[in-house]
Amino acid sequence: MKRSRNAKILATLGPASSSPEMIEALFKAGADAFRLNFSHGTHAEQQQRYDIIRQVEKTQGRPIGIVADLQGPKLRVGNFTAGKVHLPSGQHFRLDLDDALGDEHRVSLPHPEVFAALRAGTELLLDDGRMRLRVEQHGADFAETVVITGGDLSNHKGVNVPNVVLPLSPLTDKDKVDLAYALEMGVDWLALSFVQRPEDVQEIKRLVGDRVRIISKLEKPAAIDHLAAIIELSDGIMVARGDLGVECPPETVPILQKRIIRAAREAGKPVVVATQMLDSMIHAPAPTRAEASDVATAVYDGADAVMLSAETAAGDYPLDAVTIMDRIIDRVEGDEQYKIIRDASRPTPTGTTRDAISAAARQVAHTLAVGAVVTYTSSGSTTLRAARERPDVPILCLTTNVTVARQMAIVWGSYGVVAPDIHSFGEMVALAIRVAQEQDFAQWKEQIVITAGVPFGTPGTTNILRVAVVEEQ
């Protein structure tokens, strides 16, 4: 059950990785959790992948996390008569709500919310930033622009509006249908795309309640202005560098990545770094040196998990991508410099009992060189606070809730185990010792650190620390 590393791997499933054999191979190679991307594929295909993951989970005897990633409000131009046009720099070009086929003078942009937010001088980025338009005039249903950076524009290419908060809900009608289906399937995390404001997170929280944990994907610069509030409302954070890299200058993306990871770490919320991590491996059997360095940087920065997208979903070498990512993480975490950075960047405990206990558990684990920190939790909060401390040893999460055990699959250093309900402190200690030994986290006569909250079953009440020796109970 135990990996040789602490940072986790989140692998996206798609046409290249939907067979039972491949999904099981990806898990064995190092994938700790799987992402179902609702931007692509049918509900039936997602259900089939979900069912296979759960079968692998049963076969392997380890909880596996599943993240459903909602598409969000993608802005795209309409269709052209010839399929595409060439727009030279300096040419005037109109965007409007008319659904007629476009040409070299105009095209449909079926998003009235965009026109409502425009101002003269606003720049629009098309086709992942390859083309740039500047708004000269605008109204409720049109924008007259001039082409600043020209190129070929084809059907359905994306549009980005940097430095503008768009009056759009992060949940489209499609997302609401996908959301209902994902909840019915029983996914463990929902990733919400294009979060701009705290209100966006509040909206989905009202819809899902406590049925699933929410990952806010930060891919709009506007979200950075509300970073602390968004993190507070979210259960997890994803640094989605695709659109973030389009709307921000490239040189600022690494700075924002470090800032987001640091803020999420401070709050004790798991943070995933995503997009183009091993992008060349979509068609190559090995990554570039720069990509290996990119994965390593995310691990050095303290990310809970790193994500593979098209590399595993549609690439030619999905298994190789997971394998090399596993090797990179393992090598980085064995570096003495990594341990120095980890310890230097550890957040200061807040003035709460749960943080005092979690910090003490980390210190005791280091001083006594124990086999594991064992957390007994109903909601996962005890495990999350333990992970915030980044102890030297693995964190064993014992919980009666299988969903909580699965959710910990993207949390740094954490391993979920579904455990029976207990009714006394003595039962808890005996259970922790038995599971730690059975799962090979601690050997005979080795010590473990146990943290829990009393009364049992009350979320957020971490108030007990116990050192125990692995021996017969």
> Could you report the per-residue pLDDT of 78-122, keeping only the tens digit for each?
999 999 999 999 999 999 999 999 999 999 999 999 999 999 999
147 and 69 belong to one structural domain: no
* Residue 297 within any structural domain of the chain: yes
The helix (H) or strand (E) run that includes residue 340 is helix 336-344
395 and 261 belong to one structural domain: no
What does the alpha-carbon distance between residue 35 and residue 65 come to, in Å, rounded to a whole number? Answer: 9
Q: What percent of the chain clears pLDDT 90, i.e. is strictly above it?
A: 89
Q: Is 364 a residue whose pLDDT tops 90?
A: yes
The helix (H) or strand (E) run that includes residue 147 is strand 142-149
* Residue 346 within any structural domain of the chain: no
What does the alpha-carbon distance between residue 345 and residue 343 come to, in Å, rounded to a whole number? Answer: 6
pLDDT at 459: 75
What does the alpha-carbon distance between residue 446 and residue 442 come to, in Å, rounded to a whole number? Answer: 6
pLDDT at 442: 93
Indicate the length of the chain as a whole number: 473
pLDDT at 160: 92
- Rama region for 407: left / alpha / beta (φ>0; ψ in -120 to 50; rest): alpha
Q: Is 244 a residue whose pLDDT tops 80?
A: yes
273 and 327 belong to one structural domain: yes
186 and 253 belong to one structural domain: yes
pTM higher than 0.85 = yes
Measured CA angle at 441 (ends 370, 361), to 5 deg: 40
pLDDT at 215: 98
Mean pLDDT of 266-272: 98
- Token look-up 């950076």 returns 149
SS3 299: helix
What does the alpha-carbon distance between residue 96 and residue 94 come to, in Å, rounded to a whole number? Answer: 6
Domain with residue 261: its CATH number is: 3.20.20.60
* Residue 257 within any structural domain of the chain: yes
Say which residue, 133 or 243, is predicted with more confidence: 133
pLDDT in tens, 335-355: 999 999 999 999 999 989 999
What does the alpha-carbon distance between residue 397 and residue 408 come to, in Å, rounded to a whole number? Answer: 8
In DSSP notation, 186-247 reads T-SEEEEPS--SHHHHHHHHHHHTTSSEEEEEE-SHHHHTTHHHHHHH-SEEEEEHHHHHHH
pLDDT at 64: 98
CB contact set of 119 (below 8 Å; sequence gap of 6+): 135, 138, 164
What does the alpha-carbon distance between residue 72 and residue 21 come to, in Å, rounded to a whole number? Answer: 31
pLDDT at 164: 86
152 and 244 belong to one structural domain: no
pLDDT in tens, 395-408: 999 999 999 999 99
pLDDT at 236: 98
What does the alpha-carbon distance between residue 2 and residue 290 come to, in Å, rounded to a whole number? Answer: 29
Residue 111 structural domain: 84-160
User: How many Cβ atoms from other residues are within 10 Å of residue 396's Cβ?
Assistant: 30
pLDDT in tens, 323-335: 999 999 999 999 9
CB contact set of 93 (below 8 Å; sequence gap of 6+): 87, 104, 105, 106, 107, 133, 145, 146, 147
Q: At what angle do helices 198-208 and 173-185 cross, to 10 degrees?
A: 50
SS3 181: helix
Expressed in angstroms, the distance from the first to the final Cα of the chain is 23
Token couple for 448: 């473990």
pLDDT at 99: 93
Domain with residue 101: its CATH number is: 2.40.33.10
Q: Is 473 a residue whose pLDDT tops 60?
A: no
Token couple for 271: 């943070």
Nearest to 65 by CA among 320, 230, 236: 236
245 and 177 belong to one structural domain: yes
Per DSSP, 387 falls in state H
User: At which of 284, 300, 335 does a domain end?
Assistant: 335
Asked whether 13 and 312 are in contact (CB, 8 A), the reply is yes
Mean pLDDT of 441-466: 87
205 and 326 belong to one structural domain: yes
69 and 201 belong to one structural domain: yes
User: At which of 281, 309, 335 does a domain end?
Assistant: 335
- Residue 402 sits at φ, ψ, to 5 deg, of -65, -35
Asked whether 7 and 299 are in contact (CB, 8 A), the reply is yes
What does the alpha-carbon distance between residue 5 and residue 342 come to, in Å, rounded to a whole number? Answer: 14
pLDDT at 415: 97
The helix (H) or strand (E) run that includes residue 448 is strand 447-453
Token couple for 336: 């003495």
Q: Is 220 a residue whose pLDDT tops 80?
A: yes
Mean pLDDT of 263-280: 97
pLDDT at 163: 82
Report, as residue numbers or ranges, the catalytic residues.
35, 76, 217, 275
pLDDT in tens, 64-78: 999 999 999 889 999
pLDDT at 222: 87
Count of the separate structural domains present in the chain? 3
pLDDT in tens, 8-57: 999 999 999 999 999 999 999 999 999 999 999 999 999 999 999 999 99
What does the alpha-carbon distance between residue 64 and residue 160 come to, in Å, rounded to a whole number? Answer: 35
